Amino acid sequence: MDGKLPSPSKQEQAERLQEERVSRRTFLMNVGIALNAVVALAIATPVVGYVLGPVLRRKEYLAWIPVGSVTDFPEGETKLISFQNPFSDPWDGATAKIPAYVRHSAADEFTVFAINCAHLGCPVRWFSESQLFMCPCHGGVYYADGSRASGPPERGLFTYEMKVENGKLLINAGQMPTLKNKARMDCPGAENPVSSQIVSRIESCAERSGTSASTIG
Amino acid sequence: MRGKVWYKRLYDWLERRVQLEGPVKDAVLHPVPRSTASWWYVFGSASLVLLILQVMTGILLALVYQPSAAHAWNSLELLNHELPLGWFLRAMHGWGSNFMVAVVLIHMAQVFLFGAYKYPRELTWIVGVFMLLMTLGMAFTGQVLRFDQDAYWGLGIGASIMGRVPWIGGQLVHLMLGGPIINGATLTRFFALHVFVIPGTLLAFTGLHVWMVLKLGINEWPMPGRIVRRETYVQEYNELAHKDGIPFVPGAVWKDLVFSAAILFAVAVCAAVFGPYGPKGFPDPTIISTVPKPDFFFLWIYTVLSFLPPEMETPFILIAPVIAVIVLIALPLVAGVGEKSWWRRPVAVFVLMFVAVCWGEWTHLGTYTPWSPVMNAWSGAPVPAELLHGRTPLERQGANVLQEKQCRNCHALGGKGGERGPALDQVATRLTEDQLYRQILLGGGNMPAYGSALSPAEGTALVRYLETLHPGYQPAAEDASRYVVGDGGRVPPKSTVERGAGQTPVR
């Protein structure tokens, strides 16, 4: 190969490196490296913020959504409904819709169950004849009131926070319920679970004198 | 220069400028032990060929695919039905992924069995472990891009697993989904992972992996008694490669080439015969009559998740994969020297067989999910007529209740129905009347309690019917004490043996 650059011999390389070790050129190279590190950090910080965007958002994705009027739900029945996710984009398509179950158990008692099985999030199906919710994935079964009947789930169905206003049923929704992001908090010992204080992403039970969770034990 | 044909002159002109001939010749002609020119050594190169196939078909699909939750499904349908040969490209990519997972796993098993991860190739194995994880990551994200109902609920399963991580689970779910729920942001996120992040990293790791194979040499055929020692191995290997070696090209490479061609042909044949995967149902979450299921390489996980008791679930899901990866990475560091031959490594052989059998059995179970209720059995599988013959009206009413109350979703009759609970064809031989009442009303043993879903009349009819479900040669189970205590000391009826088992006609 006639066009090849001759590479310096091992000894030559070592000698050259030795004399370059403390020189202006080496110093300038180090300055260059440091400059790049600073710029990289400056660029990386907003990038990390961008990537973590979905996590850093506060609870602003939750909203009160009307799911129908009270009269739509006959007493003693559990009905499948669907609602539009409060914040959606045109490219969400059909995924902007979320199904849920509304149970009208007594005079003005409503419960709104999330569709997602508490085990791994598959859609549970309601069987009115046997009064059971069954999950097609791993056989989780729940009673009509949402409590666990059998199978792998370790808790009952998730429920949405709800309220009735002017004869309309509203639920506070916008998040897929999982064991860590429940549709609403469960306050142990509370007869009626208290509506959550929207202070941060982490839901907490409202302070009640004497028996709040932090004072027990 | 004069006198040479034009293409030789062109080659010289190029070579004087790129100067690649030297390194390429070194790589191509490097000597390898004669024993490695074996059909057992073809799976690594086949994995590489399949990776290239996936990249090519993936790029071609990206010409058409819409990474939008609103349009992805329609663009797949367009590929399947309207673009000429779009279906074939989708099928090649889908079958290519199946083959790639399979060939990568076979490659890994072969490397493990041949002790190729031992000194000095520890890092090659460790890099390979990450490549396996990335291959599985490609399989999962690819399944999401096929944006159908399985993809939607598969994401739900992924999010639910993430949601079990202590402390930061909630944030991880949002990070994974690109927001609080599964929607358009989730799909674009998985698109970026599947098309840029994972394949880019995988290709870089592949380069490193192949580089190390070239530098460290192909693992020699393991012989019992040829012990790997750090002090002497490299010298022994070089001796083997030079004294009893052949150049990699063409001595060893021809088998790689033949096998790769065969694999590509097999992918094409599968693609042409079986066609593309899905997309299955339109990804509308409000269509809940769906039975979500992962692709076959994740079926085993799906199965394991159904067998764990609730209190074991979270620890197992979170700890087991970490342990598995740590074990794989630690393997060459812990067992980096010693025997390579499988004749002298019975534990290794047993572990491999055990893992393979478990994987096969779990995958098999995952294909028919005996743990899931059959959602339409109550309306679609009638009670077999022979199980209704000779019953009283009350008993027949009980059969009606059995059907109406969805018992069949979990209990089979005549081989049809769910397998979550035991089949009921002979239930009367196992449970007495009282036990039947107790089981139905209170549940237990993973059966829900039906006390509140059955009127007393329905309960009575149901138990009366179940009491008739026994073969003619075996009477229903009875509580002997009933006769003695409840009926003024009447003697219990004769036992089966006294009456002559099998003598009575089958009803």
pLDDT digits (tens, 9 = 90+) for B312-339: 888 888 999 999 999 999 999 999 999 9
Q: Is A123 in the same domain as A208? A: yes
- DSSP per-residue letters across A129-179: TTTEEE-TTT--EEETTS-EEESS-SS---B-EEEEETTEEEEEE-S---S
Instruction: Find the distance separating the first CA and the last CA of chain A, reported in whole Å.
Output: 82
pLDDT class of A10 with cuts at 50, 70, 90 = confident
A136 and A32 inside one domain: no
| pLDDT tens digits for range A44-57 | 999 998 988 888 87
Residues A157, A200: one domain?
A: yes
- Report the pLDDT averaged over residues A187-212: 39
* Residue B498 scores a pLDDT above 70: no
Interchain pair A202, B170: CB under 8 A: yes
pLDDT given for residue A106 in this prediction: 85
Q: Is the pLDDT of residue B50 over 60?
A: yes
Q: Are residues A165 and A137 in the same domain?
A: yes
Contact B385, B391 (CB under 8 A): no
Tell me if chain A has a CB within 8 Å of the CB of B74: no
Q: pLDDT of B437-481, one tens digit each?
A: 999 999 888 899 998 889 999 999 999 999 999 888 888 888 777
| A142: CATH | 2.102.10.10
Average pLDDT score, chain B: 90
More confident residue, B66 or A20: B66
Find residue A159's DSSP bridge partners.
Answer: A113
CA-based end-to-end distance of chain B: 100
C-alpha span between B340 and A114 (Å, rounded): 55
Highest averaged pLDDT of the listed ranges A188-197, B257-266, B303-312, B359-368: B257-266
Residue of B nearest to A139 (CA): B372
Task: Tell me the count of A-B CB pairs closer than 8 A.
Answer: 219
Q: In the CATH scheme, what is the code of domain B377-499?
A: 1.10.760.10
Q: Residue B488 — very low, low, confident or very high, per pLDDT cuts 50/70/90?
A: low
Average pLDDT over residues B385-409: 91
Question: What is the CATH number that goes with domain B28-368?
Answer: 1.20.810.10
In terms of domains, do A64 and A46 share one? no
**Contact criterion met (CB < 8 Å) for B448 and A141:** yes
| CA angle (B382 as vertex; B377, B383 as ends), nearest 5 | 115
- Is residue A185 very low, low, confident or very high in pLDDT (cuts 50, 70, 90)? low
Residue B273 binned pLDDT confidence (cut-offs 50, 70, 90): very high
Question: Where on the phi/psi map is residue A123: left (φ > 0), alpha (ψ -120 to 50), or beta?
Answer: beta
Residue A34 belongs to what domain range?
10-53
- Pairwise pLDDT comparison (A58 vs B54), residue with the higher score: B54
- Residue B218 confidence (pLDDT): 92
Q: What is chain A's mean pLDDT, rounded?
A: 81
Say yes or no: A35 and A107 in one domain.
no
Q: Same domain for A76 and A17?
A: no
Q: DSSP string covering B416-462, please?
A: BS-SSSPP-TTHHHH--HHHHHHHHHH-BTTB---TTTS-HHHHHHH
- Overall number of domains in chain A: 2
Which of the pair, B500 or A204, is modelled with greater confidence?
Answer: B500
Closest alpha carbon within chain B to A127: B406
- Judged against a pLDDT cut of 50, whether residue A190 lies above it is answered with no
Considering only residues A197 and B235, tell me which one the structure prediction assigns the higher pLDDT. Answer: B235
Same domain, A96 and A201: yes
In this structure, what token pair is assigned to residue B341? 């031959």
Q: Where are the domains of chain B?
A: 28-368, 377-499
Residue B79 has pLDDT above 90, yes or no: yes
Using an 8 Å CB-CB cutoff, list chain A residues near B153: 121-123, 137
Query: What is the sign, positive or negative, of the torsion defined by CA atoms of B310, B311, B314, B320?
Result: negative
Q: Are A125 and A157 in contact (CB under 8 A)?
A: no
Proportion of chain A above pLDDT 70, given as a percent: 81
The answer to whether residue A1 is domain-embedded is: no
* A70 lies in the same domain as A169: yes
> Residue A36 falls within a domain, yes or no?
yes
In this complex, the residue of A4, A89, A181 whose CB is nearest that of residue B170 is A181
Residue A195 scores a pLDDT above 80: no
- Angle (CA) B352-B165-B358 rounded to 5° is 20
pLDDT digits 0-9 by tens, B156-167: 999 999 999 988
Give the pLDDT mean for B206-222: 94
Is residue A14 domain-shared with residue A86, that is, in the same domain?
no
Contacts of B249 (CB under 8 A, 6+ apart): B28, B29
Distances in whole angstroms, Cα of residue B506 to Cα of each of B144, B385, B429, B464, B471: 53, 15, 14, 19, 6
Query: Residues A68, A31: one domain?
Result: no
Q: Does any domain span residue A65?
A: yes
Give the strands of the sheet with A63-69, arranged side by side: A63-69, A168-173, A161-165
Show which of residues 128-157 on chain B sit within 8 Å of chain A, judged by CB atoms.
Answer: 152-153, 156-157
Please report, rounded to a whole number, the percentage of residues in chain B having pLDDT higher than 90.
67
pLDDT computed for residue B496 by the predictor = 58
Between the CA atoms of A49, A55, A61 and A62, what dihedral angle is there, to the nearest 10 degrees? -150
CA angle B267, B271, B273 (to 5 degrees): 115
- pLDDT band of residue A205 (cuts 50, 70, 90) is very low
The reply to whether A98 and A48 lie within a common domain is no
For residues B63 and A206, what is the distance between their CA atoms, to the nearest angstrom?
53
Q: Test B288 with A131 for CB contact under 8 angstroms.
A: no
Per-residue pLDDT for B507 more than 70? Answer: no
A162: buried, middle or exposed (CB in 10 Å: 19+, 13-18, 0-12)? buried
Per the confidence metrics, is the pTM higher than 0.80?
yes
Q: Is residue A96 part of a domain?
A: yes
Closest by CA to B155, choosing from B195, B124, B122, B185, is: B185
